[in-house]
Amino acid sequence: MKIKSYTLFMAKINMKTPIVEIDGDEMTRVLWQVIKEKLLVPFIDLKTEYYDLGLQNRDNTNDEVTVKSAEAIKKLGVGVKCATITANAARQKEYNLKYLLPSPNATIRALLDGTVFRKPISVNRIKPSVNTWKAPIVIGRHAYGDVYKAAEMEIDMPGRVELVYTREDGTERRMKVADFKGSGIVQGMHNLDESIKSFARACFLYAIAEKIPLWFSTKDTISKIYDGRFKSIFNEIYENEFKDKCKAAGIEYFYTLIDDAVARVVKSEGGFLWACKNYDGDVQSDMIASAAGSLAMMTSVLVSPSGVFEYEAAHGTVQQHYYRWQKGEKTSTNPAALIFAWSGALAKRAELDNTKDLEDFAKRLEKAVIDTIENGIMTGDLAKLSNPAPCQILNSWDFIDVIAAKLSGLS
């Protein structure tokens, strides 16, 4: 009540252009509404173009809503996305789905192309489990192709599998993959030079803007053509476009094998961008997130080569918490990365529209979250990691109320 009456006297911040709002599933969908109601709508004249990517609606629309949401991001330039369920057999049964819908993130990434940057939110009270890390490690994950756009086949009897490349002019190249003596599996994946080039450019631009070194790793000793192409494109882009700029920014570009990179990362002081191929980035970002603190503290932004941005939390829909919430429990689910998805999107909107008060609001919102945790008030996931021990462990609703009070200047 107090917060409401106070905000009555404040003029709401104007937004020039809407952002694309992509709603999602389960616990994150529940918190999404609370964040909007308590932390955004009282302060901003919030303008969004809304797409409901809840699993039921994706099924009802034969997934057209997912494609439409990506098209809307292309049009408006900035999107913010809630976590969504990637359907599997169990979900198909649970939601009575017509068919196994593809991963919405994979669909959106395929349409927007680009690179996903994942950065942990640093707070003083939460120390990384790797005690040499002094600054956050950012993952730059290529968001196109490889295993996420692969063709897979089950092999049910002995036979030969070949790669066949039929050129537009009709000529053909063939290569044996394997002679199967019995049943097995096979997979064909691809990538595109143009996509790898924009991945490389996005990483160099990010590293230069943040003034942090860029590491890149692949397995080119084993995959000489596929991973070898990634390595040579990065090198070419560095030599031709970014060498001088890196020098001017005082940062280094460093290439190494993925296994060597993993070993170095855990012995490093942090504070660099680690560019990873799509699958490596998927796995390593979860490793970095949990070693830095909690998956719930990992932010994520998709930067497309066409200059559009999609912000989200790195974590999923927090399924088990949702089932407990459905039974009436007020769970202690951490909303920090979801809030940062909104603040990131609003800050980008402000930058593109040149609206300083919106930019200031996004900063204040992030500061309110960090200050709250640094003051010892947090959700259960962080409580176990907090040093010194937390003063108060709150459920998500009470935690958001504390942040709202800080934003209103009431605490």
| 56 contacts ligand NAP (rule: CB under 6 A) | no
* Backbone torsion region of residue 157, taken as left when φ is above 0, otherwise alpha when ψ lies between -120 and 50, otherwise beta: beta
- Which one, 218 or 333, has the nearer CB to ligand NAP? 333
The entry of Mg ion, ligand NAP, none near residue 246 (CB within 5 to 8 angstroms by kind) is none
- Which one, 228 or 316, has the nearer CB to ligand NAP? 316
Q: Binding residues for Mg ion, per CB under 5 A? A: 282
Residues 322, 324, 328, 332: what is their CA dihedral angle, to the nearest 10 degrees?
A: -80
Tell me how far, at minimum, the Cβ of 256 lies from ligand NAP, in Å. 28
H or E segment at 365?
helix 356-374
The entry of Mg ion, ligand NAP, none near residue 316 (CB within 5 to 8 angstroms by kind) is ligand NAP
Give the strand pairing for 273-276 and 214-218: parallel
φ, ψ (nearest 5 deg) of residue 227: -70, -30
Binding mask 306-325 for ligand NAP (x = CB under 6 A): ------x--xxxxxx-----
Among 237, 296, 339, 403, binds ligand NAP (CB under 6 A): 296
- Which one, 87 or 246, has the nearer CB to ligand NAP? 87
- Which one, 295 or 346, has the nearer CB to ligand NAP? 295
Give the CA count within 13 Å in the CB-facing half-sphere of 200.
26
What is the distance between the alpha carbons of residues 339 and 336, in angstroms, rounded to a whole number? 5
Residue in the shown chain whose Cβ atom is closest to Mg ion: 282
What is the distance between the alpha carbons of residues 155 and 163, in angstroms, rounded to a whole number? 15
What is the distance between the alpha carbons of residues 244 and 224, in angstroms, rounded to a whole number? 28
Binding mask 330-349 for ligand NAP (x = CB under 6 A): ---xx---------------
Q: Which stretch binds ligand NAP (CB under 6 A): 6-14, 78-86, 172-180, 231-239?
A: 78-86
Tell me how far, at minimum, the Cβ of 296 lies from ligand NAP, in Å. 3
- Closest alpha carbon to 150 in 134, 135, 163, 168: 163
- Which one, 20 or 251, has the nearer CB to ligand NAP? 20
Which residue, chain included where needed, has tokens 């053509």? 225
First to last CA, the chain: 15
Question: From the CB of residue 50, how many other CB atoms can be counted at a distance below 10 Å?
Answer: 11
| 69 contacts ligand NAP (rule: CB under 6 A) | no
Tell me how far, at minimum, the Cβ of 291 lies from Mg ion, in Å. 15
- Which one, 63 or 312, has the nearer CB to ligand NAP? 312
Residues forming contacts to ligand NAP in the complex (CB under 6 A) are: 83-86, 105, 295-296, 312, 315-320, 333-334, 381
